[in-house]
Each structure stands twice: as C-alpha cells, then as structure tokens.
Chain A
Amino acid sequence: MSESTLITINDLKTYFFITEGVVKAVDGVNLDINKGEALGLVGESGCGKSTVALSIMRLIRPPGKIVGGEIWFEGEDLLRKGESEMRQIRGGRISLISQNPMSSMNPVFTVGGQIAEAIKLHQNVQRREIKGKVAEILDLVGIPDPSKRMEDYPHEYSGGMCQRAMTAMALSCNPQLLIADEPTTNLDVTIQAQILKLMKKLRKDFGASVLLIGHDLGVISELCDKIAVMYAGRVAEYSDLMTVFEKPKHPYTQALLESIPRLDVEEERLRIIPGTVPRLINPPPGCRFHPRCEQAMTVCSKQDPVLTEIEKGHKVACFLYDSNVRTKPQV
C-alpha cells in the first residue's frame, strides 16, 4: 500500500442469504484506488458491481451481509466501524450517486431543501448561508437560474437535471471518494455526455477520487484512469485504461472488448460471448468464467485463479499467465 492510496479493498465477500441458498454476489474482491484517481468498475449485469459500492458504504441490508474482508479507507477499516461513525463517513467523506436520479429524490421536498439537508448533516454552516451555498453548488453543476430552480420539486426537473442535482448533493460536502453507480444509464446520449463532462470537471476541481461503476466501456473510458473488470463476483483484470484496451489479458476482457461494435472494421456479425453470467448461488467450480471461455484448460475447472500482477500495475486472474500451470503438462 503506497502513500497515496485512498482506499484498499482486501478479499471483500458479500453474500446474500436467501431461501434458495447463499448468493455470493461479491466473493473475494481486491481493489485499490489512489488519491485523485478514477477507477472504472465494469462487468455484466448481476456481476456484483453495485454490491461492491454498497459494501464500501456499509449499506448492505438483510438478507445481504458482508461476511469477510477488509476495506481500508485512509488507514481505517470501514468494516470495523460502528454505525454512528459510518454515518459521519457516508455523505461526508464518501458519497454515492445512484443510477436512478429521479427516484433518489424525495418527492415531497424541494430539490434545494434536500441538498440543504445534506449540507446540514455534515457541515457547520449558518442557517442564513445555507441557501446561498445550495444555489452556488447547483450553479456549479450547471442548473440554470439556481436560486429559483432550487425551489422546484424533483418531478419538475428533467432526468438530466435530477442527475446533476444528485451530483451536486453528493459533492456538497467535498467527499474524498465519490462512488457513481451507473450515473448515466437512464439518460439519453446528449445528457450522458454532459454529465460525463461535468464529472470530469468536478473531479479536476475537487480532486476527489472516483469509483465509476458501469457496463458501458465507452462511458468508463471517458472518465477513468484505471479499469477493473469484474466477472461473477470477482475481479478478473485490473489495470490502467490504455493497457486494458490495447493489451487485454483475461479472455473475458478480450471477449468483452471484441463484442463492442467498431466503426473502423467491416464485420458481418458482432462477436458475442456465448452463454450467460452464472447464477451466483451455485457458481461453476474453479474459474467462474471457464464454461464460457474459449481457452479453458483442465485446471480452470479445478482451481481458483488468483489475481496476480503480471506486469507492473497490471493484474489478471487467469491460469494462462500462471507460469506454474503453463509449464505443467496438460492432462
């Protein structure tokens, strides 16, 4: 762990105990985010991306439970914190922007009132000054005529404006880490671009670290320095942006990148990854990707691959790059 690391997640395990069995939504995730860095967490739906986000916030609700691991945030393990300590951190030092801006706003309060509420929770601001502060921050995220529009109710805002307002709320207390859970999923492309531009600008101005969760590699590549690819509750590959795009190592990452339509190459059909994400109640043994993997070996169905650094800053969890396995004669 270097000096500049903001948050380190070690072997995080979050399971959901439902009647059919145990859903291992997050099963041994390791991640680091440095100060001022933006990490993109990508993966198919249901691979545990959002569960990682909620685990960091300690907002997993029954039947879900964090069963193991450590989350080191500035030298403190968040998983050992009491509820009241966590409340100080939530919204204050770590903020979350969720994927449904419209329904994340309380319908009976004005937008400004809700942002004021967040400010009051974490900062000592005089009552008279709060209005000004709210208007200021709404102006920052590009809400036109903020001192008027702050008196509007959420249903009077458009989806994009709501997302801006939510972003404003998340930033209102200058968090060190901003977790954005698919912040642009429900927005159309123009608004998407605006929000991304906004987040980029805010990242620069506030110097906060960002954990951007999404399945859209295009969106992720706009904003992030590093990418972690998740598959079925585990990190498959972790590296900086260009490495992942240019030299993907994990077969899943390779397949994922090949399934993006490209304008510069003529192709009859788009490549797809056969099969679906396994059910996490009863995941396949060994590497969870092996049933869909074209390069699967015998060892893949027997042992769990470990996330190992194959070059500096490039980690892959795959036996293809494990010298011990490769040298062994394959059965």
Chain B
Amino acid sequence: MSSNSRVKTDEKTEEPYEPSRATRLFIVWRKLRTSKLAVTGFGIVLLVATLALLAPVIAPYSPESFFLTMRPPTLTHLFGTDTIGRDLLTLVLYGARISLYVGLGAVFIEISIGLTIGMISGYFGGKVDEILMRITDLVLTLPTLPLLIVAVAVFKSKDINTIVLVMGIFGWPFMARVVRSEFLALRETLFVEAARSMGASNWRIILRHILPNVLSTVIVIATMDIPWYIFWEATLTFLGFGDPTSASWGVLLWRGYLYLQDAWWIITFPGLALFFTSLGFNLFGDGLRDALDVTTRGR
C-alpha cells in the first residue's frame, strides 16, 4: 500500500497541496466498498432516507385520502389499503419519516448523554468515575420496557417527542460504558502523555486528542442503535403507548395485527419496511467499523 501511495504522490509532484478531509472520506468510502454487505446496508439506509425525505412527492396518494377499506394489493394500491381505507404504500412511506426521526432523535440524545458521561468518567477516573458509573449501572439495570411504559404514562403525553426523549434518556448507559473504557485505555497512551508534555490542557486532550480516536466506535454504536430505537417505538405503539394519531410503522402494526387473518398485507408491509431498515443500519454499522479504522487501509 505504501509503495502505491508513493507512486501516486510522485505523479502529481507539481500539484499544490490539497486539504485532506475529502481524501479521508474517500478512503473510508473505498474501504466500505470492499464489503458487499456494507454497501448493501449503506444502499438500504440511503434508500429509506431518500424515500422518507421525498414521501410527499413520490407517495401515490395523500395520507388523508380514503378508499375502500382492507383491499388486498392491486395495481392501484400496490400495498393494499388499511382498516380505514387509506393507501398502505403511502402510509409506509410517511411512516419512514417518523421512524427515522425517532431513531435519529433518540440516538442524538443517547450520544449527548452517554458520550459526555463516558468521557468525563474515563478520563478523570477516581471518585467522579465511581459516582458516574454507579448512576450508569442503576440506569442499565432498570428493565427498559416497563420503565418506558411508566415514563410515557408519567409524562401524560403520547407525543412522539416524549417517546424519543424517554428512549434517549434510558438508552445511554451502554454508550457511556464503551466510551469510558476506551478513554480509560487511551488516557494512558504515550501520545496523550506527549500531548500533555506539549502543554495541552485536560479538555484539549479529551476533545482534540482522545475523542477522535473514540469517534469511530461512537458512530458504529449509534448506527447500530438507530434500528433499536425504531423497534422500541414500534413496540411501545404496538402495545398502545404510542401516539395513535401518528402514522409510524409501529402504529400501522398495532392497527393491523387484529386483522392478520383477513388482511395479511396491513401488517406485512410495515413489518418488512421495519425489517429492512434495521437490517440496513446494522450492515452499514458493521461495515463502518472496519472502514473507519485509519491504520488498516484497504486498496
């Protein structure tokens, strides 16, 4: 590999120096491309995101227009219609927006809390670490589902943002643990000592020297957690604790499961959408893990 890059640099000796950010992204992409599964995952994620963004444009009907109820898939209604006569394809497309919003929103909260606590805990250690980790253990041992139900009930609001917030608040301990353990290991490394010997402050070391080394792990965990949150939202709504007025995939499943024998399509299509989305995120996350490692460059 090194001989390869040497040849390359020789070729463009005359060219002025270019900033490396674009090259770095390009390298990650090149490495990602070597794994078929990762590319598939990336493709699915990209597809779901595009469909969600473009839902108003590509959906065949408005989610508020009604047709005959519980029609099986036909050419006019590719996925059939639901119990109150809405076009299911339209609903699944609009549902993608909610599901992605839920997944990204909850992961954002998870990273905000988990990363902060993990960084402080792992870098400073001692009593701070002790206290923060006991809190983390506490949250980690709480049974998630009953707790989510109670929390949603306590907030007395079935608004989608409440659900996102609650899931994020209970979802961070794993992130905190992993980030902490990486910080614990990295704070002892020589390059951290070197940074210290160059006069860098604690926060500078945390944010500029150690965090970039942990970022790939954080991104991977986040990618893998997105489908997890989409699932939990679906579970909550399926159990009747969601926002029934929204059209998330969970709500569609919840409305459809009673009619499984008469109208298989109502539950099948949202279910498949859910399945492929989480599969996509998982494969993508797995591939990213390998691609983000700078020390092993693929060709």
Report A's interface with B, CB cutoff 8 A. 57, 59, 84, 86-92, 95-96, 98, 100, 103-110, 117-118, 121-122, 131, 145, 147-148, 151, 153, 155-156, 166, 169
Q: How far does the Cβ of A104 sit from chain B's closest Cβ, in whole Å?
A: 4
Q: Mark B199-225, 1 if CB is under 8 A from A, else 0.
A: 111000000110011000000000000
Instruction: Determine the chain B residues whose CB is within 8 A of the CB of A95 once the complex forms.
Output: 197-198
Determine the chain A residues whose CB is within 8 A of the CB of B197 once the complex forms. 57, 59, 90-91, 95-96, 98
> In the complex, A166→B196 CA distance in Å?
14
Q: Which residue of B lies closest to A155 (CB)?
A: B295
Q: Which 10 pairs of residues, A with B, have the shortest CB-CB distance? A: A91-B198, A90-B199, A91-B199, A96-B197, A104-B194, A103-B190, A87-B199, A106-B191, A104-B190, A108-B212
Report the separation of the CA atoms of residues A131 and B213 in the bound assembly, to the nearest whole angstrom. Answer: 23
Minimum distance in angstroms from A235 CB to a CB of chain B? 23
A89 to B197, CA, bound (A): 9
Instruction: Report the minimum CB–CB distance from B209 to chain A (whole Å).
Output: 6
In the complex with contacts A108-B294, A148-B9, A155-B295, A98-B190 CB distance below 8 A: yes
When distances are taken between beta carbons in the complex, the residues of chain B under 8 Å from A118 are 198
Contact with A along B1-37 (1 / 0, CB 8 A): 0100100010000000100100000000000000000
5 more CB-based (< 8 A) A-B contacts, given A107-B295, A169-B198? A90-B197, A96-B194, A98-B197, A106-B191, A122-B199
- What chain B residues lie within 8 Å of A156 (beta carbons)? 2, 5
Inter-subunit contact B189/A90 (CB<8 Å) = no
| A108 and B190 form a contact (CB under 8 A) | no
B294–A153 CB distance below 8 A: yes
User: A107 and B208 in contact (CB under 8 A), knowing A95-B197, A98-B194, A151-B20?
Assistant: no
CA distance A199 to B17 in the complex (A): 29
- Is the Cβ of A100 less than 8 Å from the Cβ of B17? no
Is B130 part of the binding interface, using a Cβ–Cβ cutoff of 8 Å?
no
Q: How many Å lie between the Cα of A54 and that of B31 in the bound state?
A: 41
Give the interface of B toward A (CB within 8 A).
2, 5, 9, 17, 20, 189-191, 193-201, 208-209, 212-213, 294-295
Known: A59-B193, A103-B191, A148-B9. A88 touches B295 (CB 8 A): no
Minimal beta-carbon separation of A78 from chain B (angstroms): 13
Judge whether A88 and B199 touch: CB under 8 Å.
yes
C-alpha spacing A153/B213, complex, angstroms: 13
Q: Is the CB of A104 within 8 A of B191?
A: yes
Pick the contact of B196: A90, A147, A153, A155 (CB < 8 A).
Answer: A90
Q: Evaluate whether A106 and B199 lie within 8 angstroms (CB atoms) in the complex, with A131-B17, A151-B17, A155-B295 already known.
A: no
Chain A residue with minimal CB distance to B12?
Answer: A148
Q: Provide the residues of chain A in CB contact with B295, threshold 8 Å.
A: 107, 153, 155
Question: With a CB–CB cut-off of 8 A, which chain B residues contact A91?
Answer: 197-200
In the complex with contacts A104-B193, A121-B199, A166-B194, A110-B20 CB distance below 8 A: yes
Which among B191, B213, B295 has the greatest number of chain A C-beta atoms within 10 A? Answer: B191
> What are 27 A-B interface contacts by the 8 Å CB criterion?
A57-B197, A59-B196, A86-B199, A90-B198, A91-B197, A91-B200, A92-B199, A95-B197, A98-B190, A98-B194, A103-B189, A103-B191, A104-B194, A105-B191, A106-B191, A106-B213, A107-B191, A107-B213, A107-B294, A108-B294, A109-B212, A118-B198, A121-B199, A145-B9, A148-B17, A155-B294, A169-B198
Contacts of A98 in B (CB 8 A): 190, 193-194, 197
